[in-house]
Amino acid sequence: MEFQYYGANCISLATKGTRIVVDDNLKELGKKGIIKQGDVALFTNELKSDVARLSFCYPGEYEVGEISIVGIPAKPFMHDDSGKQITMFKLMVSDITILITGHILGELDTAQKEAIGNVDIMFVPVGNNGYTLDSIGALSLIKDIEPKLVIPTHYKSSNLKYPIEQTSLDQVLKDLPMEIKDRSNKLKMKQNDLSDITQLFILEED
C-alpha cells in the first residue's frame, strides 16, 4: 500500500485499485482538494463528499473491497465547542492496521482502547495552539496506543492558511524523543517493513 500526505489531516491510501482519501478540507485552507470520482472519502468530522463514490463520517463498521473500516467515536479537541462528534478511523488492509485519530481530545477510555486494539501505523495531528494536540499530548497518545510507526500531521505549512498558526515540524521533532525511521513524500509499506520499536516517519507534504 502507498500513503501520501497533502497537509492538514489530509492523507491518501492506495491499495489494490482502491484509493481512500481522509479529511480533504483543503479548499477551506486555500489549496485544491484531491478527492476524485471513484475514491472513498473518510472524514473524522461531520463532513461529506459529493465527488467520492463512497463517503463515511460516522462511527460504525464498513467494508470497501478487501479493506475493513471501523469508525470509533471520540471527544473533539478544545477548539471545537459545537458538541459535534469526532470519529477516529481504524483501517485494516491485508495484515496492516492503520489508525487515523483526527482532532481528538487525546484521552482514551477503556472502550476506545479495546476498539482500537493493536496498531501498526498511526496518523496523529501535532499543530497545537488550541486547535489540535501538541507534541506532548501526541506523545501521551502514542504511549497509550503503542503503534509501530507514527506519522505526524497538521503542523505548520507554507501552502495552507490555517485559522490559527500551527507549530512547525522542526519544533515538534525537538519535543518528540523518537527515532526517525525515514522521510519522504510517499510511503510504501508492508508488514515486514515495520519494527517492534515505535518509530517516527515524516511523510512530507505533496
Q: What is the pLDDT of residues 119-137, one digit of tens each?
A: 999 999 999 988 899 999 9
CA distance 36 to 21: 9
Q: Tell me the one-letter amino acid at 138.
A: A
Is pLDDT at 189 greater than 70 in this prediction? Answer: yes
Other C-beta atoms within 10 Å of 128: how many?
23
Other C-beta atoms within 10 Å of 141: how many?
21
Q: pLDDT higher for 42 or 94? A: 42
Q: What is the pLDDT of residue 20?
A: 97
CATH of the domain at 68: 3.60.15.10
CA distance 48 to 97: 24
Q: State how beta strands 96-100 and 180-184 pair.
A: unpaired
Is pLDDT at 183 greater than 70 in this prediction? Answer: yes
DSSP string, 93-109: ETTEEEEE--SB-S---
Q: What is the pLDDT of residue 79?
A: 54
Q: pLDDT higher for 17 or 122? A: 122
CA distance 147 to 162: 28
Is pLDDT at 161 greater than 60 in this prediction? Answer: yes
Q: Which three cell numbers stand for residue 175?
A: 519535543
Domain count, the chain: 1
Q: What is the pLDDT of residue 190?
A: 86
Q: What is the pLDDT of residues 50-89, one digit of tens each?
A: 999 999 999 999 999 899 999 999 988 865 555 678 999 9
Domain assignment of residue 68, given as a range: 2-203
Q: What is the pLDDT of residue 29?
A: 96
Q: What's the distance, CA 67 to chain centroid?
A: 16
Q: What is the pLDDT of residue 106?
A: 81
- Assign 9 a pLDDT band (cuts: 50, 70, 90): very high
Q: What is the pLDDT of residue 199?
A: 93
Composition of the chain by helix, strand, coil, percent to 5:
15, 35, 50
CA distance 120 to 148: 5
Q: State how beta strands 60-64 and 67-74 pair.
A: antiparallel
Per the CB < 8 A criterion, the answer to whether 67 and 91 are in contact is: yes
